[in-house]
Homo-oligomer: A and B are copies of this chain.
Amino acid sequence: MKKSVKIQDVAKVAGVSTATISRALSNPSVVSKATREAVLEAVKVTGYRVNRAARNLRTRKSNTILVLLPDIGNPFFSQILQGIQTVLSPRGFSMLIAETGQISAAGEHLIDYFDDGRADGMIVFDGGLDQEVARDLVEAPQRNQVVFACEWLNNADFPSVRSANRRGAVEAVKHLIELGHKKIAHIKGPEGNVLTDARFESYVKALEEHNIPIREEWIFAGDFDLNSGRDVARKIMKMDEKPTAIFCASDQIACALISEFSKNNVKVPDEMAVIGFDDIELAEHFVPALTTMRQDRLGLGRQAAEILLSRMMNDKGISDSDVIVMDVDLVVRESTAPPQN
């Protein structure tokens, strides 16, 4: 049972003081070459590893970033996490993951992560934070160490990285219009979500721009998830006057929608054109392959991490680029086609 090596032990082996060890490791340029090499050698010999808790205590830093998700189980986030990780890892930061619901369920507050030194910064993917939680964040001294990604807060201007939801939604609907559709339905995301609103409003805008009247009965509540797609498909099939095309707020909705249509012999894209949003991995391999707006999830994660780190370094409090909007791309596959008749 070898006891853990501490900086004192290394100092003894290298024949220098602990201060020199510390300096040689964290700021090599200030010690002489000879010492530096001796220290490195001693570190190797002893197998020394800095004790993070001690370092964190002394420096008041954790080198850890909290990633706050509304729902860890949603596979939409996995690639985003990967993007974040590719930026954080080489820079020596660790990634802590938590879920909005779990934090409040545990009686904790979001800013506790700052207050108790668990995290130096956070990337928040939940635009639906409680009013109170949001206010705490705005008023926190660590205000600058927070970046929103994908979603954002309407009443606070944190830096944020997001996809071009409005342009994307407009383009998606336009794609349907250009194919000749006039009867275009929309399945919304969850109530109160900023993405839901942005995409829905753009749907309305695109229709208005082309003088297509809005039909309330073709606007459906949903929640980004599979089940809402299935449910809406059932509703639509019962309608007397059906739309000929549907713009879904997410690919998951679109897939489940198509699936339910297929089961009931409603042909996609011929009888019903369907376009999604996200371009999840499976979209390309769905049957029929899904036409959708691609979000660069890896890039979103990377950008969010980059911005956060650069803000944490500067700490100017001033920021030139508060909102980064990532491009989205229309990917035309097989689930959209001109209307039949």
| Residues of chain A whose beta carbon lies under 8 Å from any beta carbon of chain B | 1-2, 4, 49-54, 56-57, 60, 62, 64, 71-79, 81-82, 85-86, 89-90, 92, 94-99, 102-103, 105-106, 112, 115-118, 141, 226, 229-230, 252, 255-256, 258-260, 262-263, 281-282, 284-289, 298
Contact = CB atoms under 8 A, between A and B. Distances in A.
Contacts of A75: 75-76, 78-79, 281
Contact of A94 (B50, B96, B260, B284): B96
Given A78-B73, A89-B106, A116-B52, A95 B97 contact: yes
Contacts of A51: 57, 116-117
B141 A1 contact: yes
Give the oligomeric copy count: 2
Contacts of A282: 226, 252, 255, 282
Contacts of A118: 52, 94
B90 A106 contact: yes
A5 B227 CA distance: 47
A306 B287 CA distance: 39
Contact of A281 (B2, B95, B98, B226): B226
B52 A54 contact: no
B141 A2 contact: yes
A149 to B, nearest CB: 16
Q: Interface residues of A: mostly helix, strand, loop or mixed?
A: helix
Contacts of A255: 282, 285-286
Contacts of A78: 72-75, 77-78
A282 B287 CA distance: 12
Nearest to A66: B94
Given A81-B72, A230-B285, A98 B97 contact: no
A112 B94 CA distance: 13
Given A52-B62, A94-B96, A255-B285, 16 more contacts: A52-B116, A54-B57, A71-B82, A73-B298, A75-B76, A75-B281, A82-B99, A86-B102, A90-B105, A94-B98, A95-B96, A95-B98, A96-B97, A259-B284, A259-B285, A286-B287
A78 B86 CA distance: 18
A15 to B, nearest CB: 24
Which 3 pairs between the two chains have the least Cβ-Cβ distance? A75-B75, A73-B82, A53-B56
Contacts of A77: 78
A1 B317 CA distance: 14
Nearest to A85: B72
Nearest to A60: B53
Nearest to A47: B115
A117 B86 contact: no
Nearest to A257: B285
A112 B43 CA distance: 14
Nearest to A74: B78
A50 B255 CA distance: 47
Nearest to A254: B285
